[in-house]
Amino acid sequence: MTNSDRPASELASSQFNPSEWVIDGNESIALSIHIKGDRLFKEDSPYQTVEVFDTYGNGKMLTIDRMVMCTEADEASYHEMIAHVPMQTHPSVKDVLVIGAGDGGTIRELVRYPGIERVTMVEIDEAVVRASKQFLPTISSAFNHPKLNLLIDDGIKFVKEAADASYDLVIIDSSDPVGPSEGLFTKSFYEDVYRCLRTGGVVTVQSESPSYNPKAFIELNQCLKQVFGSDRVHCYLVFIPMYPTGMWSLTYCSKQGPHPIENFDYNKATQFAKEHDLHYYNADVHKAAFCLPTYVQKMING
Amino acid sequence: MTNSDRPASELASSQFNPSEWVIDGNESIALSIHIKGDRLFKEDSPYQTVEVFDTYGNGKMLTIDRMVMCTEADEASYHEMIAHVPMQTHPSVKDVLVIGAGDGGTIRELVRYPGIERVTMVEIDEAVVRASKQFLPTISSAFNHPKLNLLIDDGIKFVKEAADASYDLVIIDSSDPVGPSEGLFTKSFYEDVYRCLRTGGVVTVQSESPSYNPKAFIELNQCLKQVFGSDRVHCYLVFIPMYPTGMWSLTYCSKQGPHPIENFDYNKATQFAKEHDLHYYNADVHKAAFCLPTYVQKMING
């Protein structure tokens, strides 16, 4: 084993040129991804700044307002865990609503299921979809799938106007609670989501990081418990090395639906993960992800 | 919820002044911790540069060659998981050997167990111990414990000369495989560790990050399997937000000893964690930590 496995960081520190890195941080901690060559895409859309970069070792990377959304190397962890945890728990999903998810990774995972009849995806910013189609083909590969109905529209307005009890699964795959995603972190939004779910229906939500943005994590958990009932809200954790601090949460909720551990079919999930050669998700990880470190439990259980 | 929960990173990027941050990175990804005020401690020991900083929001921080060793805010995750996983698995640990661990956090966790009779700790660099005693009192609180025998010495030499079958538990709590820790990542070192373990004895090892330094992670796993036998080596993962990428591994091995899931006492671990008001470790997390994402399984199972 040689020193080249992990350069002493004195090296990085003295040579660190911020202009060569995308820096995603707050006032105490930052993640930086080294970018290679010229920026591939930049657009100031009506909502946000959408950019695509090439990186050293992590493939192409999508950022919104310079926050890392995904890299080719790592995106499967997030997309598999937000899609397969509910899909392996609910026994018969036919109608899915996806809010956000403009890069396409979540729908790529959903269309693996022949039982799904329709996926309605509502993304507010067509620039994200366009950037992903052009530069992230392995992530955006399902945009032409016949089951997909892609709407460029405001997800908050969409769920407000959606018919009652129309979906078996709703996935809220939002960016962070700044800019256009801020309204996706409110009680009135989740009341609409609840209403448009069928009884027995399930939801997964990108629910921020207990270590990086604890306030948003706690507030969203409280909001979900108010809407779904506290015994129907289950937080789970995923290792996402490309997000600041690497510890990210998703939250599974249901409308009087199945419990994500007690009612999930271990053998079916094992077979599915193997068949599809998944990157991160497997049946053991499904169960393990809900086992939270004690300090995270305390954050959400008061 | 307001934007202040997560400042858009454009802010950090344009204002990022590398001299105000400790940057722990490689050529593709870096973690930065914002430092507050003047450096509290710096010493170029015969082995490495040892420093202590204050930080914004993460308490005091120990670095070696500018690699983050621990912060007060987060150190318990690592120290609990390296100590309690073996201690809650082996039924009767009396003699413990700890290599490295100069900050003292690992021995603070070990002295919670009345059944332990002796802890021998071998740290090569007394500057680490001194810095921790002076600036990290909550981490170094067990250095005066009557069961502790602290030796400032070379751990590699120590295990080479140690008597056969003298320990029930050996913990290798090293820094990364550069500088003085490099020899802790070799087969001959682990052959000595194996020899000085009692039959039924167990080992935990700081085994690097599958996401940040995959080569070191894979090579160390292979080395451990050669020495302990492949069915006696069990990798587990911990969320460590203060290490680059946040995804870190520890590895449990045994000399024909107990299996860390099949032979661990769930109820006893639950009671212990509650009694000691642990920060991260609980019985569910103990089991869950061994459930690896598929891509991590593939890295070590070939």
A59, A117: one domain: no
CB contact under 8 A, A28 and B29: no
B241-262 average pLDDT score: 97
pLDDT at B274 over 60: yes
B64-78 average pLDDT score: 95
CB contact under 8 A, B30 and A32: yes
Question: What residues contact residue A1 under an 8 Å CB cut-off, 6+ apart?
Answer: B177, B182, B185, B186, B215, B216, B219, B220
- A7: nearest CB among B26, B31, B208: B26
Q: Report the candidate in B18, B209, B29, B10 with the shortest Cα–Cα distance to residue A55.
A: B29
The CATH number of residue B66's host domain is 2.30.140.10
A66 touches chain B (CB under 8 A): yes
| Confidence (pLDDT) at A175 | 73
**Residues in a beta bridge with A118:** A95
B142, B80: one domain: yes
Last residue of a domain, one of A42, A69, A96: A69
B175, B57: one domain: no
B169, B65: one domain: no
Q: Show the domain range for B28.
A: 3-70
B21-42 average pLDDT score: 94
> What is the rounded distance in angstroms from the CA atom of residue B288 to the CA atom of residue A158?
38
The pLDDT mean for chain A works out to 93
B39, B176: one domain: no
Last residue of a domain, one of B70, B97, B117: B70
B212 touches chain A (CB under 8 A): yes
| Confidence (pLDDT) at A3 | 33
> What is the rounded distance in angstroms from the CA atom of residue B60 to the CA atom of residue B133?
12
CA dist A140 → A33, A42, A83, A105, A106 (Å): 22, 18, 15, 6, 9
Residue B13's pLDDT band (cuts 50, 70, 90): low
Residue A204, token pair as written in the block: 């997964």
Exposed (0-12), middle (13-18) or buried (19+): which is A147, by Cβ within 10 Å? middle
- A280: nearest CB among B12, B220, B294: B294
A191, A263: one domain: yes
A280-289 average pLDDT score: 98
A128, A249: one domain: yes
Residues 1-20 in B contacting A (C-alpha not used; CB under 8 Å): 1, 3, 5-10, 12-13, 16, 18
A96-119 average pLDDT score: 97
| Confidence (pLDDT) at B16 | 87
Torsion angle in degrees (nearest 10) through CA of A71, A72, A74, A75: 80
pLDDT at B7 over 90: no
Contact B99, B150 (CB under 8 A): no
B12-26 average pLDDT score: 84
Contact A271, A281 (CB under 8 A): no
| Confidence (pLDDT) at B9 | 55
A21-45 average pLDDT score: 95
| Confidence (pLDDT) at B6 | 42
Q: Which of A74, A239, A242, A281 to mutate to test the interface with B (most CBs of B within 10 A)?
A: A239
Identity of the amino acid at B54: D
pLDDT at A243 over 80: yes
> What is the rounded distance in angstroms from the CA atom of residue A180 to the CA atom of residue A178?
7
Contact A39, B41 (CB under 8 A): no
Q: How do residues B131-151 score in pLDDT, each as one tens digit?
A: 999 999 999 999 999 999 999
Residue with tokens 């290798």: B172
Last residue of a domain, one of B70, B89, B116: B70
> What is the rounded distance in angstroms from the CA atom of residue B30 to the CA atom of residue A33?
7
Residue A71, token pair as written in the block: 């890299």
Identity of the amino acid at B237: L
Residue B2's pLDDT band (cuts 50, 70, 90): very low
A266 touches chain B (CB under 8 A): no
| Confidence (pLDDT) at A12 | 52
Residues 175-194 in A contacting B (C-alpha not used; CB under 8 Å): 176-179, 182, 185-186
Chain B CB contacts of A57 under 8 Å are 27-29
B16, B136: one domain: no
Residue A228's pLDDT band (cuts 50, 70, 90): very high
B51-58 average pLDDT score: 96
pLDDT at A13 over 70: no
Q: Report the candidate in B149, B91, B92, B144 with the shortest Cα–Cα distance to residue B118.
A: B149
Q: Report the candidate in B204, B245, B265, B292 with the shortest Cα–Cα distance to residue A288.
A: B292
A210-226 average pLDDT score: 95
Interhelix angle for A214-228 vs A294-301, to 10°? 60
CB contact under 8 A, A12 and B33: no
CA B17, chain centre distance (Å): 30
| Confidence (pLDDT) at A4 | 34
What's the domain count of chain A? 2
Please indicate whether residue A132 or residue B18 has the higher confidence score (pLDDT).
Answer: A132
pLDDT at A177 over 80: no
Q: How do residues B165-199 score in pLDDT, each as one tens digit?
A: 999 999 999 877 666 667 778 899 999 999 999 99
CB contact under 8 A, B66 and A10: yes
| Confidence (pLDDT) at B11 | 45
A22, A158: one domain: no
Residue B262's pLDDT band (cuts 50, 70, 90): very high
Chain B CB contacts of A77 under 8 Å are 293
Exposed (0-12), middle (13-18) or buried (19+): which is B276, by Cβ within 10 Å? middle
Q: How do residues A75-84 score in pLDDT, each as one tens digit?
A: 999 999 999 9
Chain B CB contacts of A179 under 8 Å are 8
Interhelix angle for B294-301 vs B214-228, to 10°? 60
> What is the rounded distance in angstroms from the CA atom of residue B110 to the CA atom of residue B112?
5
